[in-house]
Homo-oligomer: A and B are copies of this chain.
């Protein structure tokens, strides 16, 4: 069941069959229905989630009581709230499945023992964190330097598989504009 995760880890570090068996003891597999929650605002985040199949998002509620989409994750992406996970403080985010999803779950209270058992996972997670941090910084750059139209085209070119699977109003929220603006872009009324 965790073969997708094993394949992903092996892109970065080696894992022998004994380590794969060990990994399977630490990673729980969780099936979540569409719209099911992995985390809600106010809860302490307890795990890091690897998407084996499906699609999830994190979002927060603004002062105006609207949802703002913060992140998406499809197959081979991890999703969590590191602020809450590592500092054990209540989260400001929700994490929710957008499709029926299968997740590999690394619980925080098992993480240290897993890294002690398979030390090369430190390298794996360091590598994916570098990629995630680079992506977050590029996103901040684009918020301040691209127009809404440019952000949409950059995102849809970089991540076409997301655009097909994600409800349009969520994509608009993630990109920081209204669904009406996205409709106009897609209708060719804004360029």
Hey, which bits of chain A sit against chain B, CB under 8 A?
A: 60, 62-63, 68, 70-71, 81-83, 86-87, 92-93, 115, 119, 122-123, 125-126, 129-134, 136-141, 143-145, 176
User: Contacts of A130 on B, CB cut-off 8 Å?
Assistant: 82, 86, 129
* Nearest chain B CB to A128 CB, angstrom units: 9
In the complex, A46→B68 CA distance in Å?
36
Find the B residue at minimum CB distance from A173: B144
User: Contacts of A137 on B, CB cut-off 8 Å?
Assistant: 70-71, 81-83, 136
Query: Do B62 and A138 touch across chains, with their CB atoms under 8 A apart?
Result: no
Query: Do B141 and A140 touch across chains, with their CB atoms under 8 A apart?
Result: no
Contact with A140, one of B62, B70, B86, B87 (Cβ below 8 angstroms): B70
User: Contacts of A132 on B, CB cut-off 8 Å?
Assistant: 133
